[in-house]
Amino acid sequence: MANLTISAVCNQHCPYCFTGDHLGGSGSNRRFLEPGDLDARLDFLDRSGMDQARFLGGEPTLHPHFSELVERARARNKKIVIFTNGLMPQESLACLEALPATECQVLVNVNEPAEAGEATFERQRATIRRLGERALLGFNVYRADFRPGFLLSLIADSGCKGASAGPGTALPLRGQCLRPPPSIRGDRRKDRALCSRRGRGQCEGRVRLRFRALHVL
């Protein structure tokens, strides 16, 4: 699996952001991947036998040529996987809506409504509704006192695939082990046991958290 960073720009400021230091193009004047530069990356995916083009950022849908990037990847028969906060331009949303659900998965990273703000959360809800079964919710656990109940109503209300929750990072957690922040890090031996039960015992105390009750697949 390879993720392609196509944007160093984001319209959110999540406290757990794994890429915060690099947002805004700092360290480089390049805020967005040049469309022509995608081809070399797609060549790499082809050589590696990968059938997915996985776009992330920053916020990938803010790329001014987002639709073109998707088209280039689709021309190589890649399934499209997008990691987004759901606050996307209409053109990007229309581009994703036009793809069959079997060829497109959009992991929409949401925060608790009280933290996101009502207007932001409603924009995200509207996007998730339009994406329907293309959408999978992502929720990052970066405090011990989070309240994930809103995800259930969001899943029921939007027709999305379900939700995946995990320790504070914007990355998707399927098949991955990530180190939780100190505030929720548990006993190292228990973490190892959890990982071992999943057959991933070499990860030195890292733990993956998923809340199966939230999955409506």
User: Distance between CA atoms of 161 and 155, rounded to whole angstroms?
Assistant: 7
**Between 12 and 164, whose beta carbon lies closer to ligand SF4?**
12
One symbol per residue from 68 to 107: x for binding ligand SF4 (CB under 6 A), - otherwise; what is it?
-----------------x----------------------
Query: How many other CB atoms are found less than 10 A from the CB of residue 50?
Result: 15
In the complex, what is the shortest distance from the CB of residue 4 to ligand SF4, in angstroms, rounded to a whole number? 14
Q: Please tell me the chain's helix, strand, coil percentages from 3-state DSSP, rounded to the nearest 5.
A: 40, 15, 40
Task: Show contacts with ligand SF4 in window 169-208 (CB under 6 A).
Answer: 170
User: Distance between CA atoms of 18 and 23, rounded to whole angstroms?
Assistant: 10
When asked if residue 164 is in the footprint of ligand SF4 (CB under 6 A), the reply is no
When asked if residue 163 is in the footprint of ligand SF4 (CB under 6 A), the reply is no
Angle between helices 66-75 and 90-97 (to 10 degrees): 20
When asked if residue 57 is in the footprint of ligand SF4 (CB under 6 A), the reply is yes
Backbone φ and ψ of 214, nearest 5° = -90, -5
Cα–chain-centroid distance for residue 69?
Answer: 17
**Between 101 and 171, whose beta carbon lies closer to ligand SF4?**
171
When asked if residue 13 is in the footprint of ligand SF4 (CB under 6 A), the reply is yes
In the complex, what is the shortest distance from the CB of residue 170 to ligand SF4, in angstroms, rounded to a whole number? 3
Output b/e per residue, 120-131; b: 16+ Cβ within 10 A: bbebbbebbebb
Among 42, 55, 59, 139, binds ligand SF4 (CB under 6 A): 59
Task: Show contacts with ligand SF4 in window 109-128 (CB under 6 A).
Answer: 109
**What's the alpha-carbon Rg for the chain, to the nearest Å?**
17
When asked if residue 21 is in the footprint of ligand SF4 (CB under 6 A), the reply is no
CA nearest to 186, candidates 170, 167, 199, 201: 167
In the complex, what is the shortest distance from the CB of residue 107 to ligand SF4, in angstroms, rounded to a whole number? 10
Per CB under 6 A, residues contacting ligand SF4 are 10, 12-14, 17, 19-20, 57-59, 85, 109, 170
